Amino acid sequence: MSVSDAAYGDLNYDGFVASLAKAIPPSSAGPALRALWYDANGRADSAHRAANADASHSCLRVRAYLSRKAGDDRAAKRHYWLSGNQVWEGSCENEWEDIVRAVLVEVVVERSYL
């Protein structure tokens, strides 16, 4: 399986990162990963729309990250609280990576129950 296949089939971290060079997010990416894909590609409005499309824990965490990155500390704290996460203290780049990895783990766990 090539990296391209991994980005659009069985999603993994390296495949997701490789997909950032594509014109559109991976078709298998849920709202949280789509939001992070748009964010990494400088499309903040699309990132916010994707994160707001779902009320999941993952999307709440992405909303917290996006709010923090935009400098909206009040909204960020609210979304961190709603998602059950502590306010992130590190860089936005490290938080982005942490969220991607966490969401991908959730996908694997979810698929194991299907």
Span 36-78, pLDDT tens digits: 999 999 999 999 999 999 999 999 999 999 999 999 999 999 9
Structure tokens at 107: 């996908």
Distance in angstroms (rounded) separating the CA atoms of residues 69 and 109: 28
The pLDDT tens digits for 10-36 are: 679 999 999 999 999 998 899 999 999
* pLDDT recorded at residue 11: 79
Query: Residue 11 gets which letter from DSSP?
Result: -
Distance in angstroms (rounded) separating the CA atoms of residues 25 and 94: 20
Distance in angstroms (rounded) separating the CA atoms of residues 37 and 6: 15
* pLDDT recorded at residue 3: 38
* pLDDT recorded at residue 114: 65
- Mean pLDDT in residue range 1-10: 41
CA 100 to chain centre: 5
Q: Where are the domains of the chain?
A: 31-112
